[in-house]
């Protein structure tokens, strides 16, 4: 029996099924390619900056700690931009917002490259990061528009895997460009990439929102250029739902382990094993990025399989929290063990053996974290399908604000209590995060019933 003939899938009305057949499979792949490479660009913007901090500090006659404020500021820009772009995408559509955001990225990149003072660097870094801040939330929203429930996790897995190639490769390329070229030329090239992406989107990216669902479509009449005010903070109101709030908190606790590993890398692995070259330090992001690539691909397909199997067990009844069952191995075992082991290895094992074991921990941590993040991202799209970009943005923005506070205490914690204890604390927090996910799986239906923020049903998902 083919998938189209399955009794399970015949429960979905034909009209709703047709929404996902508006685009042919090759068109869906092309759209997925587009949003994935915009996400890849956004990741390059975020992480190429880290290995260039020492060179920027030298050129501008500043300290590393002061220049690192630009990295913290870019996290704030990511949070702010994600909320702004996702809110406006619900009114104008994803295509228009992609085109509006790219000029900010291009101008901001050139501004960073031309910066001659700290104030200029901070301002243009904010503009640059703001321009591409909607890439992840808009990308997951677009995928929710074109892929059915049982296909969504796999597609989001592909999206994040391509995006996270940037997380692994960008620090190495950023470090190499800084060392052999210049950090200014690096940002000029990012601006040129943004211009090329904007051209591709303008020429070949269609609007993917379901017909009649955009705010501008519901206006009785409109001008050729219609500008309206939308409160970007309205997306955060979705987090009054216990379900959305707790999975956001759990994801923050998981991602925190990544920052504990990579942000102080020059001062932990670098100093412990005598590595000072920026390009070499950047190369140590590669194992974690490769692990993220692996984890999100596996978790995407696994979460779709879990959804299908549990629907079959319930004779066609869909429970959104079933997707979160795919997080168990990564959240309970791989993440806490990898971060805890890395701290102990860095503290007690030197030489090539210690370095090799740390590389293994970095890879395992990437696998574990993204095997949790992928199902959570898909869950956000599932439960609030009509506002999926906003739900994703609210989760991302809140998570980034939590992480910006966490980043500020990582180095002081390492200086005060050491690498091992700092990593063990992060591991314990990750286990707590997985416990929160367990409670959501068990009591998710009651939690959704307590506060309804417009949750999706099988008929409109």
pLDDT digits (tens, 9 = 90+) for 102-125: 999 999 999 999 988 888 888 999
Q: 171-181, pLDDT tens digit by residue?
A: 777 777 777 78
Candidate from 133-137, 219-223, 414-418, 419-423 with smallest mean pLDDT: 219-223
Q: Among residues of the chain, what percentage have pLDDT more than 70?
A: 91
**Is pLDDT larger for residue 177 or for residue 156?**
156
What is the pLDDT of the chain when averaged over all its residues? 85
Residue pair 459/13 in contact (Cβ under 8 Å)? The answer is yes
Threshold 0.85, pTM exceeds: no
Q: 336-391, pLDDT tens digit by residue?
A: 999 999 999 999 998 999 999 999 999 999 999 999 999 998 898 888 887 887 88
- What DSSP letter does each residue of 154-176 carry, written as one string? HHHHHHHHHHHHHHHHHHHHHHH
Residue pair 376/250 in contact (Cβ under 8 Å)? The answer is yes
Separation of alpha carbons 159 and 143, rounded Å: 9
Q: Is pLDDT of 15 > 80? A: no
With tokens 């925190």, the residue in question is 256
Question: How many CB atoms within 10 Å of residue 46?
Answer: 22
User: Which residue segments constitute the domains of the chain, with CATH numbers given?
Assistant: 25-211+231-460 (1.20.1250.20)
The helix/strand/coil state of 456 is coil
**Is pLDDT larger for residue 176 or for residue 81?**
81
**Is pLDDT larger for residue 73 or for residue 13?**
73
Mean pLDDT of 384-413: 84
Give 381: exposed, middle or buried? Use CB within 10 Å, 0-12, 13-18, 19+. buried
């Amino acid at each position: 029996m083919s998938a189209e003939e399955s009794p399970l899938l015949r429960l979905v009305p034909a009209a709703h099924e047709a929404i996902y057949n508006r685009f042919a499979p090759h068109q869906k792949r092309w759209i997925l390619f587009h949003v994935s490479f915009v996400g890849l660009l956004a990741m390059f913007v975020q992480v190429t900056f880290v290995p260039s901090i020492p060179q920027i500090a030298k050129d501008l006659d500043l300290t590393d700690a002061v220049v690192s404020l630009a990295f913290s500021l870019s996290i704030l820009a990511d949070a702010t931009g994600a909320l702004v772009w996702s809110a406006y995408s619900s009114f104008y559509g994803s295509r228009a917002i992609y085109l509006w955001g790219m000029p900010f990225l291009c101008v901001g990149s050139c501004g960073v490259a031309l910066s001659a003072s700290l104030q200029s660097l901070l301002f243009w870094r904010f503009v640059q990061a703001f321009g591409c801040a909607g890439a992840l939330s808009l990308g997951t929203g677009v995928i929710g528009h074109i892929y059915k429930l049982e296909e969504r996790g796999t597609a989001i897995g592909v999206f994040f895997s391509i995006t996270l190639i940037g997380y692994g490769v960008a620090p190495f390329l950023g470090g190499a460009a800084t060392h052999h070229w210049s950090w200014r030329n690096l940002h000029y090239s990012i601006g040129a990439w943004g211009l090329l992406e904007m051209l591709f989107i303008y020429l070949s990216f269609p609007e993917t929102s379901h017909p009649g669902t955009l705010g501008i479509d519901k206006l009785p009449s409109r001008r050729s250029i219609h500008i309206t005010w939308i409160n970007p903070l309205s997306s955060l109101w979705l987090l009054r739902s216990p379900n959305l709030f707790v999975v956001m908190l759990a994801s923050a606790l998981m991602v925190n382990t990544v920052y504990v590993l990579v942000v102080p890398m020059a001062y932990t692995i670098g100093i412990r094993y005598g590595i000072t070259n920026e390009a070499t330090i950047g190369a140590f992001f590669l194992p974690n990025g490769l692990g993220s690539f692996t984890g999100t691909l596996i978790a995407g397909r696994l979460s779709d399989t879990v959804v299908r199997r549990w629907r079959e067990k319930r004779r066609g009844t869909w429970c959104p929290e079933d997707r979160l069952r795919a997080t168990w191995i990564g959240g309970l075992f791989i993440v806490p063990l990898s971060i805890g082991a890395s701290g102990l290895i860095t503290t007690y094992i030197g030489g090539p053996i210690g370095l090799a074991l740390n590389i293994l921990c970095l890879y395992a941590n990437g696998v574990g974290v993204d095997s949790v993040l992928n199902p959570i991202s898909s869950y956000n799209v599932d439960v609030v399908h009509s506002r999926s970009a906003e739900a994703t943005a609210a989760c991302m923005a809140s998570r980034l604000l939590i992480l910006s506070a966490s980043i500020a205490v990582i180095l002081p914690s390492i200086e005060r209590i050491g690498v091992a204890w700092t990593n063990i604390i992060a591991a314990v927090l990750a286990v707590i995060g997985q416990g929160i996910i367990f409670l959501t799986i068990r009591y998710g239906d009651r939690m959704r019933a307590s506060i309804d923020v417009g949750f999706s049903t099988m008929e409109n998902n």
